Amino acid sequence: MSFTNHRKMQLYGSLLLLPAALLLTTFAYLPTVTTVINSLFLPGFRGAPTEFVGLENYQVLFDDPTFWQVARNNLLYALGTIPTSIALALGMALFVNGKLRGRGFVRMAYFTPTILPMIAAANIWMFFYAPQIGLFNSLLGMLGFSGVNWLGDPSVALSSVIVMSVWKEAGFFMIFYLAALQSMPPELKEAADLEGTSRWSFFWRVTFPLLMPTTLFVLINALINSVRVVDHLFILTKGGPNNATNLLLYYVYENAFSFFDRTTAATITVVILLVLAVVATLKFTILDRRTHYQ
């Protein structure tokens, strides 16, 4: 009796898992395996058979200065977008969580960039950044400064892309912080007020630690987003000028579809996957232990 019940439960459980397992296998595990295999072979020229070359493709990739430039760009991009957008999101959430006239409107205004499709947003920003007719240089001109070629000058182009990404992402992360803030029990604040705690130490001692699970979630999301940038580069810079704004996934795309070099694309993908795996391990072993869940 209990045996069949047990079997039934197992079957029931497996059936519940099946859709997810199927989707993950088709769209995550199988492609990963084929990508790893592809990165170990070199296709022949004009229909000649592919040849197993072991790690040679990785050797070639690590000798490619563009790859290192792109990797460096991506690191700078991550360092530029992640802390800034998280800090901004937290600030905005605290702001619109308080008593404020026209609160609904401000919340909506902060969230608007998130609703816009990336391509549309990038097209708008392309005109903000346009050197002669763009919004930013017109404003600078009014203040008497000469303009900057935001996307055309290699020394500022990457920063320009970063600014736009922060604008696009902060509002999205704000929503999570706002939700977390609203689910916080009001007794905590009341108790703190009775004790005469200052707002500053209440934030650092109570609010911020309680937001840690949200921060962790947002951090992971921001990290993922910093590695999967392709769409705005299409519109804004195409990775230029002279690779100044080329990022890893865009470089993968270029190799796979502009250069028809699937091997190199697969090799870079595997490298990205390995790096992300290391980061994920760190997350599970270190960060998770320091996070207090409610």
**205 contributes a contact to other proteins by CB under 8 A:** no
Stretch that binds other proteins, among 30-38, 96-104, 221-229, 257-265 (CB under 8 A): 257-265
Q: How far is the CB of 45 from other proteins (least distance, A)?
A: 6
Which residues, 6 or more positions from 58, have their beta carbon under 8 angstroms from its beta carbon?
39, 267, 271
- Minimum distance from residue 19 beta carbon to other proteins (Å): 23
Site residues for other proteins, 220-249, by CB under 8 A, read 235, 237-238, 240-243
State the nearest-atom distance from the C-beta of 233 to other proteins, in Å: 11
State the amino acid at position 241 in one-letter form.
P
Judged by CB under 8 A, the chain residues 116 through 155 that form the site for other proteins are 126-127, 130-134, 149, 151-154
43 lies in the binding site for other proteins (CB under 8 A)? no
State yes or no: residue 50 binds other proteins (CB under 8 A): no
H helix or E strand, kind and range, residue 256: none
| By CB under 8 A, residue 72 contacts other proteins | no
Rounded Cα distance, 156 and 14, in Å: 53
In the beta sheet, which residues pair with residue 42?
51
Buried b (16+ CB within 10 A) or exposed e, 67-85: beebbebbeebbebbbebb
Q: Which among 83, 63, 89 has a CA at the least distance from the CA of 169? A: 89
Of the candidate spans 20-28, 43-51, 110-118, 282-290, the one that interacts with other proteins by CB under 8 A turns out to be 43-51
Report which of 100, 79, 34 is spatially closest to residue 273, judged by C-alpha positions: 34
Smallest gap from Cβ 125 to other proteins, in A, equals 11
Q: Is 258 in the site for other proteins (CB under 8 A)?
A: yes
Q: Residues, the chain, total?
A: 294
Count of residues interacting with other proteins (CB under 8 A): 28
* Residue with tokens 């763009």, as numbered in its chain: 134
Phi (first) and psi of residue 238, to 5 degrees: 55, 35
List of residues contacting other proteins (CB under 8 A): 45-47, 126-127, 130-134, 149, 151-154, 235, 237-238, 240-243, 254, 257-261
